[in-house]
Structure 1
């Protein structure tokens, strides 16, 4: 996209996630991002002069259709599947989505993530 500012890319990614959740018809949405600065800016978006303020206001408008909508922080170490998806997306010229099965490049990471979160 020709954008070199990481915060702007985080904001664009969040907006695209909101659009996808809307298209899928979700009503209770929790977006997890590994950029704490973006979460802080989201929580103070009405008083923000940040470079991503216009994006956050757009996300606010898009998310108004949901019954509940939250943006929360998740540590980067707990976000390996998302990192793998982003890495994979950098190699694509088209959009991919997987609704019924996990892509092969992601399976082992998802299994590891599930086992860490399982209650024993």
Structure 2
């Protein structure tokens, strides 16, 4: 691992702990505007040698539209994992016919890369893929949120080893019921 990757990992860890300044301070999940779909995305580690991705798509009423997990049998470095989780969720949204989407991630580095505010060469190709995938939507935007505003996606990423590659449409796994209910109070 290069020194740059180690620095990015450290910065991401500090951001998640709340010890660095953020340009955005959304600390609770907020429903998207009517007509938009909000998709929260996260990557996590499901042991020492594997990586999981999770996403949760919800309407302006907070209703679950879809959720999913993807399991990777190898451990990816954090920045790459977060970028791949976003790309995968964009692919899922496109395949599910979602056309006006707001993507949220707790990885500030990935969001800055998508907005051309920073250039991380380790995820440059993934960032370009995401920007090309954005053309599949009528409307597509990317936002950074805190971990507290991304809880269901985080839980799903950590459960990817259990659920493997799975999609839910109407009845999500019980492990995220509480966090979905808590988020509904803020929508």
TM-score (structure 2 length as normaliser):
0.57
Structure 1 SS opposite 2:104: strand
Tell me the equivalent position of 2:176: 106
Tell me the equivalent position of 1:67: 138
Runs of 4+ that moved beyond 4 A: none
- How far is 1:8 from its partner? 0.2
Corresponding pairs, count: 115
Tell me the equivalent position of 2:167: 97
Alignment gaps of 5+ in structure 2: 1-71
Spell out, residue by residue over 1:13-53, the C-alpha distance to the aligned partner (whole angstroms, 9 max, x if none).
Answer: 000000001001111111100011111111018x8352101
- The reply to whether residue 24 of structure 1 matches residue 96 of structure 2 is yes
More moved, 19-28 vs 94-103: 94-103
Name the structure with the higher strand share: 2
The 5 A counterparts of 1:1-120 are 1=72, 2-44=74-116, 48=119, 50-92=121-163, 94-115=164-185, 117-118=186-187
Structure 1 SS opposite 2:102: strand
Distance 1:57 1:13, change over 3 A: same
Name the structure with the higher helix share: 1
Structure 2 SS opposite 1:52: helix
Task: Determine which structure has greater relative contact order: mean sequence separation of CA pairs < 8 Å that are 6+ residues apart, divided by chain length.
Answer: 2
Spell out, residue by residue over 1:58-77, the C-alpha distance to the aligned partner (whole angstroms, 9 max, x if none).
Answer: 11112211111111101112
